[in-house]
Structure 1
Amino acid sequence: MAGAGTAAWSQAYNQQVNPQVTDSVTQPNVEVVGEAPAMSQGNLYQEESQALSNAAHSATTAQQQTNVTAQAATTMGVPTLDSVDTASTEAATRDIFGATAAEPD
């Protein structure tokens, strides 16, 4: 009886597999391998665009912060200039250049 089971197994093992079955197994594998270069290229483009977007955003933020700093310096500088005594500046300038002050009429 042991020989009958072995013969049945041997007969089943030697049978050819239906080509439709092998196609259904190999086609998805071929599709995955075929799509891999396109997927990796797409991922590369997406990562590059993200990096460039981050760089542009950082540059914009830095420019805005520079503008805020410049505005703050101007805001503090104008009152400082306005508080300087102009009469003493005139006298000092005339002393430096050796000119005499003009007498008002």
Structure 2
Amino acid sequence: MAFPTAVNDQITDSVTQSNLQVLATAPAIAMGNLYQATAQALANAAHNATNAQQQMYITAQAATATGVALLYSLDTAASAKATKAILGA
């Protein structure tokens, strides 16, 4: 109990207990905020990794399609060059 003041002791005790309650819960709230921020950061990291992997797969698929198209066009180009050489000679 607080020492005697000009204010009613019950009011003084009520305000004091309220302030103590705020101070007592501050560490728990701080840890809760830290856990929440850490969880959000990890979720963002996982999402970014998934997105990067999907983009890499799209790039790899495009490179593969271009390579296959090039392989298919080599025979045609060689045939065209040989035909031109034969007809031009």
**Would you tell me which structure has more helix in proportion to its own residues?**
2
* Amino-acid identity (%): 59
**Structure 1: gaps (5+ residues):** 1-13, 89-105
Q: Who is 2:45 aligned against? A: 55
Task: Identify which of structures 1 and 2 has the higher relative contact order when contacts are C-alpha pairs closer than 8 Å and 6+ apart.
Answer: 2
TM-score, normalised to structure 2, is: 0.72
Q: Who is 2:27 aligned against? A: 37
Query: How far apart are the structure 2 equivalents of 1:16 and 1:59?
Result: 64
Aligned residue-pair number: 74
Query: How far apart are the structure 2 equivalents of 1:15 and 1:54?
Result: 54
Report the AA paired with residue 20 of structure 2: V
Point out the structure with max Rg over C-alpha. Answer: 1
Q: Is the aligned partner of 1:65 residue 2:66?
A: no
TM-score, normalised to structure 1, is: 0.62
Point out 4+ residue stretches in structure 1 off by more than 3 angstroms.
14-18
Report the AA paired with residue 78 of structure 1: V
Give the superposition deviation at 1:15: 7.0
Report the AA paired with residue 70 of structure 1: A
